[in-house]
Chains A and B, each alone.
Chain A
């Protein structure tokens, strides 16, 4: 879907960020720069939960009076339903605050194109693995704070299972909820297992925590270039061949998803 230029509007990309991992916010800035380069908005800015600028500081970034807010988050859940509306003081799809109009779009993770991006990642990371002998696991955080946090992953599992992609099994697994990603070898019935982290960045969880849970790393290592972990596929572990991809949000096409979400907002709420 192409988006008409919005020369009087701004785009605000909201991310999680991290005080521990400097790589965490990289995808958000890359997505912002790609959209900025296209000159579609008067302004494109980022703000974060854990980094600067904060969501409350973001208000002071804008010249524009109309701002589209896109949560660069992977699911509708605690952050998109509780934290972001609270911090940005949003009361609904459209909120007028101190003379500026904020439009709150859906998060990137619920966009229909995410299914294709996951399948592309899975094929890239294991190009020679026969899908019939392969389990695809989509993994995320999982949290008790909001039941919707895992819904995006479960929806993707259902969509891929029904897509005819040919995987012997398509499963969801989480860091802090059952089924646990640490049990990947018990969950997967096949000799090959592809794990795609349903996160935006190769940050604390996908780069440092999950490799430990999978058994790729013995302990949590320092943040570093993603290549060091991801280029060693496949990992021969627990009697299986494990292929671990980088986080789905590092995909450059997420910039297209963000633009689609702005268009979707206009179609749903402005017409």
Chain B
């Protein structure tokens, strides 16, 4: 259990999360959220392990007490691949996490899906600021400045390729190329951020408020390749 000082003011985001769960939210990405004891204690597992979680086969799940194991679980996919984008749909199965407070629940969810609870609450309250891709690329500096020269066509293609790569990112793309240029319809741009088959009111959507830096790195690689087709991609950091 994480130690919090008694004088800490009410944790607003955590309490809103508790209220959302009480109102029927039970999923985020590939994670099922269950609450107990009047929404004071919580249990997380992979959605595909819910049956084992509930009863038969549950003994096969590794039990984590507290949020400390969340980063380890989220670090690599079942195939050992590096999950540097946490909304990639390859979260490994075989675990259950027991959380004694809503603060611990939030800490765990922020490791599984970084900032996604706060982003969702901001969206609901109308305070989420979306930044379009051209604005993001325009503010790059150093070696990344060259990404500004990419054409709309090249950027649209990169959205389709990067956000729906071998392991797609499940976030809902909220940004456009610019205020007047929406993303072309594609598997990536049409994603809702909510798992297929889950009603909208039962899951916290995974939101992408601006292109991630992995996307910018792919833009850099594409701009280098365009300038020197024979040179190929350089390695990102």
Residues in chain A within 8 A of chain B (CB atoms): 5, 7-8, 16-22, 29, 33, 36-40, 42-43, 45, 49-54, 56-58, 60-63, 78, 82-83, 86, 98, 145, 204, 223
Could you tell me which residues of chain B, from 2 to 40, have a CB within 8 Å of some CB in chain A?
Answer: 2-5, 7-9, 11-14
Query: What are 29 inter-chain pairs, A to B, with CB distance below 8 A?
Result: A5-B7, A7-B5, A18-B237, A19-B82, A20-B84, A20-B237, A21-B82, A22-B82, A22-B84, A42-B8, A42-B9, A42-B11, A43-B11, A49-B213, A50-B214, A52-B85, A53-B115, A54-B212, A57-B119, A57-B209, A60-B118, A60-B128, A61-B115, A63-B13, A63-B14, A82-B141, A83-B141, A86-B139, A98-B127
Stretch among B68-76, B179-187, B193-201, B225-233 lining the A interface: B68-76
> B5 to nearest A CB, angstroms?
4
Partner of B68, one of A33, A42, A43, A83: A33
A57 close to B5 (CB less than 8 A):
no
Which residues from chain A contact B217 at a C-beta distance below 8 Å?
19, 50
> A265 to nearest B CB, angstroms?
21
Query: Interface centre among B13, B110, B115, B212, by most A CB within 10 Å?
Result: B115
Interface size (B, Cβ < 8 Å)?
A: 43
Which residues from chain B contact A223 at a C-beta distance below 8 Å?
82
B115 close to A57 (CB less than 8 A):
yes
Which residues from chain B contact A51 at a C-beta distance below 8 Å?
84
Decide if the interface of chain B is mainly helix, strand, loop or mixed.
Answer: loop
B114 close to A52 (CB less than 8 A):
yes
> A123 to nearest B CB, angstroms?
31
B237 close to A204 (CB less than 8 A):
yes
Which residues from chain A contact B202 at a C-beta distance below 8 Å?
none
Which residues from chain A contact B3 at a C-beta distance below 8 Å?
36-39
Interface status of B131 (Cβ within 8 A of chain A): yes
Q: How far is the CA of A40 from the CA of B127 in the complex (A)?
A: 29
Which residues from chain B contact A49 at a C-beta distance below 8 Å?
213
Could you tell me which residues of chain B, from 74 to 123, have a CB within 8 Å of some CB in chain A?
Answer: 75-76, 82-86, 110, 114-115, 118-119, 121-122
Which residues from chain B contact A204 at a C-beta distance below 8 Å?
237
Interface status of B55 (Cβ within 8 A of chain A): no
